[in-house]
Amino acid sequence: MKNVKCLKCIKCGAEYEATPDATTCECGGILDVIYDYDYIKSVSSPEAISSSKDYTMWRYRPFLPVEESTKNPPLRVGWSPLYEVPRVADKLGFKQFFLKDDGINPTASLKDRASSMAVAKAIEAGYDTIACSSTGNAASSLAGNSAAAGIKTYIFVPERAPIGKVAQLLIFGATVVSVKGNYEETFELSKAAIDEYGWYNRNAAINPYLMEGKKTVALEIAEQLNWKLTDYVALSVGDGCTIAGVWKGFKDLYEAGFIDKLPKLISAQSVNTCPINRAVKTGEPWSPMEENTLADSISVGVPRNADKAIKAIIESDGLAIEVTDDEILAAMRETGRECGVFGEPAGVTGYAGLKKLCAEGKIPADATVTCIVTGNGLKDTANGIKAAGEPIKLNPSLDEFKETVMK
Amino acid sequence: MKNVKCLKCIKCGAEYEATPDATTCECGGILDVIYDYDYIKSVSSPEAISSSKDYTMWRYRPFLPVEESTKNPPLRVGWSPLYEVPRVADKLGFKQFFLKDDGINPTASLKDRASSMAVAKAIEAGYDTIACSSTGNAASSLAGNSAAAGIKTYIFVPERAPIGKVAQLLIFGATVVSVKGNYEETFELSKAAIDEYGWYNRNAAINPYLMEGKKTVALEIAEQLNWKLTDYVALSVGDGCTIAGVWKGFKDLYEAGFIDKLPKLISAQSVNTCPINRAVKTGEPWSPMEENTLADSISVGVPRNADKAIKAIIESDGLAIEVTDDEILAAMRETGRECGVFGEPAGVTGYAGLKKLCAEGKIPADATVTCIVTGNGLKDTANGIKAAGEPIKLNPSLDEFKETVMK
């Protein structure tokens, strides 16, 4: 990896060689991938990237921590659409609005970007099995991306995991272990099994490479905006890995001279579960909160990557905003109706936050904004129905139709 | 439309001007779009198309029946991935296997291609409202694509439509009428309402342009295979519109000299609901059947486009194969596990049929095959659960894990 200098601990500053199965620092701190931007500039440019015909996240290889010889994993991840929707800009009262639909990825969430990276690094490191402990998008994306690459997966879920999510894992052929215990016990069993059998570890706050996969959403936004970022980029925040990855992406482009302006981040969390935003607003260190929002993907009371996320929001001169579940459901309807994009609850929380900031007068009229939808609403149809209401039930009769629907 | 000569009835041969809101022939026959292939050759070529940076279905405008001035509708439809999966070719016993994942479209099915076309034509014709009846995917795709374009929609669905698909419709802001009846009754009510209120008609067997949208999946397969088709192309068949569209796409390319070999079509239906395949096999005209398969998108007893579909299968020297619901569920598992693609039941029925033909020795060992997955499994998680099996239930104990899972 000529483009990577080393891994560096964000806590103590210790540096490590960037081996493909590196995890955390000896001090327990999370490692960051440090790039050689001079080297990147010498081998790449905005023009070179824009002329690539590889319409996946792997078009950004100069900015990705993989060996030159590593093949792109099989599933086509990334290059999700960025839609400009003038209607929304008019409605919310600012200049320009873009929506990035990342629910269009192969397993229908942004997490595919991290899992594609996990598959690439696991193969580099010579592993044939990857494991993780999760019931959400990270697990299903790992199972799908691994299946396509012929890699085995062990997924540990607590017994309370919803059957729908477990089904997706089983369809992709993961060995799914339903643990009769709580999440903590599930995590501990997965850790013991990973240690015992030496599998590749896909845990976003432990594995330093996964965030580098996630950052490709930011690289895409920049390229799709012709390397001129909007003033703001809004997204939902759970354990903090995604927003930290997004910021890393923008910073990488800035350091390499591909963009000359950084956006301000808008961090949207639930009013009930917002440990990261609370820390940003109070200036205190983050502390755990209860997990209480229907947006399950961001219902994270103990965020694993809080420090990186908080640093990113503050460094960007960003905004932190909290929304209610009702505001999240309204955002599902509004992005569906105005943009033709059906996002899962956590997927549209960034939009909900943006809307609330507009109502509070915090977004200037001349502002330009990008909002990321992080996951597809088909992953959570129960909340889709909750947001959308019920269809009109009729007998097959035109008269009944006229009287009921067209009245 | 310099590339379009006229619309021609497939039944009586009558010709019509290609107006944007044309429907069926006076004789009741379905109309076909007739192209001027000499004109197409004069303005396009495989090389010209392959160099286009428009990675949507609209890269094939020389083959599409829209005015030169018509804008591409907003949602990014098409250019779905074509995966080569050697594992599957080895397992099923032929030379080369490709899987086209059309579930990755914006509303998660192939039907987005027809709906994007419907939006383009409705705008050309000056309508602000579109209506259709559908078992689900056509409807949700119409609702999504119309919402993005600021067009109103009325959608008629049979009451058995899966909840995921209904949720999509409602989120996209469609007026959704759930009809207490079967698909036939639903269709008739939609027809009556469209006649009454003068909306744009997005019913695939009535509107001659929709098939032209669907055919782009064939154009993409050809381009992604570098204009050298596989020997076979397998897909599921319900109403008959999709397979007829696929055949039209290949034939257009052949007539224009873009490809020099046509594939044989594999038409996969349910053993219980197979009016089109039955007609192909018996040589008799098609007749209605009961609707009785869990693959709801192809549970069509009275196919609206049977004649075009039957003609396509026979003309291609194709194969007709019927599969059981259990074989469909097995195909969901297998495409998930081998390809990392989660298809809905109808979405993987083409694969189920292909597998059965292989078991019957009908596919030669030197054959190359493309299989289309027409919709995403997240649209029907209930059947996903049915297909997926059960997780392994364990106490949080490494010893128990070793004994049970790793034995």
Last residue of a domain, one of A198, A230, A258: A198
Does the distance separating the beta carbons of A157 and B391 come in below 8 Å? yes
Asked if residue A296 and residue A165 are part of one domain, the reply reads no
Q: Is residue A158 pLDDT above 90, yes or no?
A: no
Return the exposure string of A326-350: e unless at least 16 CB atoms fall within 10 Å of the residue's CB, then b: ebbbbbbbbbbbbbbbbbbbbbbbb
- Sequence-distant (6+) residues with CB within 8 A of A286 are A275, A276, A278, A279, A303, A306, A307, A310
Q: Is residue A53 pLDDT above 80, yes or no?
A: yes
Does the distance separating the beta carbons of B107 and A104 come in below 8 Å? no
Residues on chain A touching B337 (C-beta within 8 angstroms)? 147, 171-173
Q: Is residue A277 pLDDT above 90, yes or no?
A: yes
* Domain membership flag for residue B173: no
Last residue of a domain, one of A165, A198, A231: A198
- List the single residue in B with minimal CA-CA distance to A170: B388
Asked if residue A228 and residue A362 are part of one domain, the reply reads yes
pTM: 0.96
- List the single residue in B with minimal CA-CA distance to A191: B398
Per-residue model confidence (pLDDT) at position B206: 85
Q: How many CB pairs below 8 Å do chains A and B form together?
A: 243
Q: Is residue A206 pLDDT above 70, yes or no?
A: yes
Q: Is residue B204 pLDDT above 80, yes or no?
A: no
Does the distance separating the beta carbons of A74 and B337 come in below 8 Å? no
Last residue of a domain, one of A169, A198, A227: A198
Please tell me what DSSP assigns to residue A396. S
Q: Of B372 and A390, which is predicted with more confidence?
A: B372
Asked if residue A295 and residue A164 are part of one domain, the reply reads no
Q: Say what percent of chain A tops pLDDT 90.
A: 86
Backbone angles phi, psi at A394, to 5 degrees: -140, 155
Mean pLDDT of chain B: 95
Nearest to A171 among B157, B192, B384 (CB): B384
Residue A142 — very low, low, confident or very high, per pLDDT cuts 50/70/90?
A: very high
Encoded tokens for B156: 């008629």
Give CA–CA dist B318/B73, Å, rounded: 34
> pLDDT per residue over B206-260, tens digit each?
899 999 999 999 999 999 999 999 999 999 999 999 999 999 999 999 999 999 9
* Domain membership flag for residue A178: yes
Nearest to B336 among A145, A172, A186 (CB): A172
Nearest to B179 among A154, A163, A394 (CB): A394
* Domain membership flag for residue B235: yes
* Domain membership flag for residue B337: yes
Per-residue model confidence (pLDDT) at position A253: 98
CATH of residue A226: 3.40.50.1100
Does the distance separating the beta carbons of A394 and B180 come in below 8 Å? yes
Asked if residue A352 and residue A295 are part of one domain, the reply reads yes
Asked if residue A189 and residue A228 are part of one domain, the reply reads no
Asked if residue A351 and residue A277 are part of one domain, the reply reads yes
Per-residue model confidence (pLDDT) at position A182: 81
Does the distance separating the beta carbons of B55 and A175 come in below 8 Å? no
Residues on chain A touching B336 (C-beta within 8 angstroms)? 144, 147, 171-173
Asked if residue A173 and residue A294 are part of one domain, the reply reads no
Report ipTM for this prediction.
Answer: 0.94
- List the single residue in A with minimal CA-CA distance to B336: A172
Q: Domain range for residue A341?
A: 82-108+210-388
- List the single residue in B with minimal CA-CA distance to A386: B167
Give CA–CA dist A296/A345, Å, rounded: 8
Encoded tokens for B16: 């019509």
Mean pLDDT of chain A: 95
Asked if residue A137 and residue A254 are part of one domain, the reply reads no
Does the distance separating the beta carbons of B169 and A384 come in below 8 Å? no
Per-residue model confidence (pLDDT) at position A164: 76
Does the distance separating the beta carbons of B402 and A148 come in below 8 Å? no
* Domain membership flag for residue A259: yes
Backbone angles phi, psi at B167, to 5 degrees: -60, -45
Nearest to A75 among B168, B179, B340 (CB): B340
Residue B135 — very low, low, confident or very high, per pLDDT cuts 50/70/90?
A: low
pLDDT-wise least confident of A300-304, A338-342, B311-315, B358-362: A300-304
Asked if residue A293 and residue A215 are part of one domain, the reply reads yes
Asked if residue A274 and residue A222 are part of one domain, the reply reads yes
Give CA–CA dist A394/A400, Å, rounded: 7
Give CA–CA dist A159/A137, Å, rounded: 17
Residues on chain B touching A154 (C-beta within 8 angstroms)? 405
Q: How many domains is chain B partitioned into structurally?
A: 1
Residue A22 — very low, low, confident or very high, per pLDDT cuts 50/70/90?
A: very high
> pLDDT per residue over B41-76, tens digit each?
999 999 999 999 999 999 999 999 999 999 999 999
Per-residue model confidence (pLDDT) at position A162: 76
* Domain membership flag for residue B355: yes
Return the exposure string of A388-399: e unless at least 16 CB atoms fall within 10 Å of the residue's CB, then b: beebeebebbbe
Asked if residue A269 and residue A182 are part of one domain, the reply reads no
Does the distance separating the beta carbons of B376 and A185 come in below 8 Å? no
Asked if residue A252 and residue A135 are part of one domain, the reply reads no
* Domain membership flag for residue B238: yes
Per-residue model confidence (pLDDT) at position A159: 86
Q: Taking residues A31-60, report their average pLDDT.
A: 97
Q: Encode chain B in three state secondary structure.
A: CCCEEEEEECCCCCEECCCCCCCCCCCCCCEEEEECHHHHHHHCCHHHHHCCCCCCHHHHHHHCCCCCCCCCCCCCCCCCCEEECHHHHHHHCCCEEEEEEHHHCCCCECCHHHHHHHHHHHHHCCCCEEEEECCCHHHHHHHHHHHHHCCEEEEEEECCCCHHHHHHHHHCCCEEEEECCCHHHHHHHHHHHHHHHCCEECCCCCCCCHHHHHCHHHHHHHHHCCCCCCCEEEEECCCCHHHHHHHHHHHHHHHCCCCCCCCEEEEEEECCCCHHHHHHHHCCCCCCCCCCCCCHHHCCCCCCCHHHHHHHHHHCCCEEEEECHHHHHHHHHHHHHHHCCCECHHHHHHHHHHHHHHHCCCCCCCCEEEEEECEEHHHHHHHHHHHHCCCEEECCCHHHHHHHCCC
* Domain membership flag for residue A274: yes
Does the distance separating the beta carbons of B146 and A172 come in below 8 Å? no
Q: Taking residues A320-336, report their average pLDDT.
A: 97
Q: Is residue A326 pLDDT above 70, yes or no?
A: yes
Q: Is residue A77 pLDDT above 70, yes or no?
A: yes
Residues on chain A touching B332 (C-beta within 8 angstroms)? 171
Does the distance separating the beta carbons of A381 and B167 come in below 8 Å? yes
